[in-house]
Structure 1
Amino acid sequence: MTQAELAEESARLPSPLREQFERPAGQREFVRSMIDKRLLAQEARVRGLHQKPEIHKQVQALEERLVIQELLAAEEKAAGTPGEQALREYYQQHRDELAQPERLRLARVQVVVPPGATATQRAQAKQKAERLAQRLKSGEALEKVAADGDGRGGELGWVARGDLSDRELESAAFSLKKVGDTSAVVAEAKGYSVVRLLERREARVPAFEEVRAEVEGRALPQWKRKVLEGLLARLREAGSVSIDMPVAP
């Protein structure tokens, strides 16, 4: 067994395993496993198992898949990648898919109600949330108000519809009209929250230049499909392919 064979086999391993077998002790273990595999294959041939028809079928199927992959890779390399005009045409045809939904940048002040809380405890938590909401509406700094909640407030980041797990909170957030607006107290599974609108991005279709990389990634599978269809059309014509099957009743 050569060093080149060892390196080739090692290169097929996932990264964590490859790093493990790069150490001296690991290399010895890996070489042993390669030798064991060859011993097993040799014994199988001695017993004539490699001549079984089902083994031949599997080998032929694997060879067929591998040579088809090589053929398609060669065709795709010869065809190149989608050009600028093809990408722009894809962009125009798929503008709806590339549209960006309305997004809000939100902050939240939260008052958590512990599991099993009594009705009195829930009422007290709601009153606390209402006082915090009033402080926000009176102009007090968000960071200070959030800190006086349960320490779980602050920025939620950018969200679109469907990003928030609580539908009531989402409804309250998307009903805010102006930057700086603060919602009423919203009851959640874990307690009560107040959200503030920090910034809004309206729904839009980004310009081609903004999403060119995404368009190229989306268009590539379609481009490869066209390469395949073109190859198949040439092969069918050259091979005079016909299908003779009985028509189903």
Structure 2
Amino acid sequence: MSTPVALTIAGSDSSGGAGIQADLKTFAALGVYGASVLTALTAQNTKGVTGVHLVPPDFVTAQIDAVFDDLAVGAVKIGMVAQAPIADAIAASLARWAPSHVVLDPVMVATSGARLLPEDAIDALRRGLIPRASLITPNLPEAAALLDEPVATSDEAIAAQGRRLLALGCPAVLIKGGHGQGTDSTDYLITADGCIALASPRIDTKNTHGTGCSLSSAVAAGLAKGESLEAAVRNAKAFISGAIAAAERFTVGHGHGPVHHLYRFY
């Protein structure tokens, strides 16, 4: 029996709570071997991002080629692409290697509020990466930014934005409701077949650093293991809810602390 492998293409978080580090912890927690391609190095902690050093696009390509040339990649998760030329390099690599599953988390703003994607790179996402994704996982502000619309505030408006995102070329959209209000945190899985609302109790904690990265990588892990899209999304939501609920076990940093990726083990 082959070992399930997932690849994350994203930025590094020097404090270990988000980005590549969160993705690899998530893969490991869910029984998947993780490989990684770095798009950027960030000087970052729980209080914010103080610097970004971009990886040259040709070296992003070299990393992707090295992984696919040797490993049987079952699913790819894409996080921070940092700039348009890197997004274009990733899109060209996906066209060449044609992985079965691609989960795109359109990372635009860090939990701390720092902007991680310039305006010109958003068009590169729309043009090159969204049409190659199996699933995109924007939060409410990111979904609105991709469509150049106001943030949706009702179930109907969220579902409608999801349908407009499908028109950009991807077969499925998971709009994350963590930025919403109310006692439940509801995510919306939108496909051509309709909209499924996935609710879980909203957890009162400031330790939410890396939640978006971890959710999308958990979906990729499920797909790498052969789960259906809906099962992978449901299992990923259960995983991240547990990781957030266990985050108070940590005393890490002075800002938005990390979630507890390995809560099932210690």
Task: Calculate the TM-score normalised by the size of structure 1.
Answer: 0.17
Greater fraction helix: 1
Task: Calculate the TM-score normalised by the size of structure 2.
Answer: 0.16
Which of the two has higher C-alpha Rg? 1
Greater fraction strand: 2
Question: Per chain length, whose mean CA-contact separation is higher, i.e. which structure has more relative contact order (CA < 8 Å, sep 6+)?
Answer: 1
